Amino acid sequence: VKCSNQKIRKNQWCKHVDVFDTSKYGQGLRAMAPIAKGTFLCEYVGEIITEERFHERMANLYSKDEHHYTMKLTQNLVIDAYRMGSIARFANHSCSP
């Protein structure tokens, strides 16, 4: 059986991307070569916390910080990649490529 998680297990991800400083959003992630649609780029990792704890951190720890590295995982859980995480935390989105 072919395992679909081999790239994660062998640390074979994030090979065609680079972290760079943006003028508006802090650091960003950009492609260094064309990437085919559907290609796995990297895993978003960080500390999994409750949404309640996330709001506490936003009010107390991160209130003076401009950039936040979080992603909602489920209705009640958030991945907080502020203090630890992969380069996926620097990926921004665009509504118009």
Contact 11, 49 (CB under 8 A): no
CA torsion 50-53-59-61 (nearest 10°) is -110
Return the CATH number of the domain spanning residue range 6-90. 2.170.270.10
pLDDT, residue 14, reads 67
pLDDT, position 38: 82
pLDDT tens, position by position, for the chain (97 residues)?
Answer: 566 666 555 555 666 788 889 887 788 888 888 888 888 788 888 999 999 999 999 888 877 777 778 889 999 999 998 888 888 888 877 777 6
Two structure tokens written together for 67: 């950039």
Q: Whole-prediction pTM value?
A: 0.69
Q: Which runs of consecutive H residues, i.e. helices, occur in 10-76?
A: 51-60
The whole-number pLDDT of residue 8 equals 55
| Residue 7: per-residue pLDDT | 56
Instruction: Report DSSP state, residue 89.
Output: G
Predicted pLDDT at 76: 95
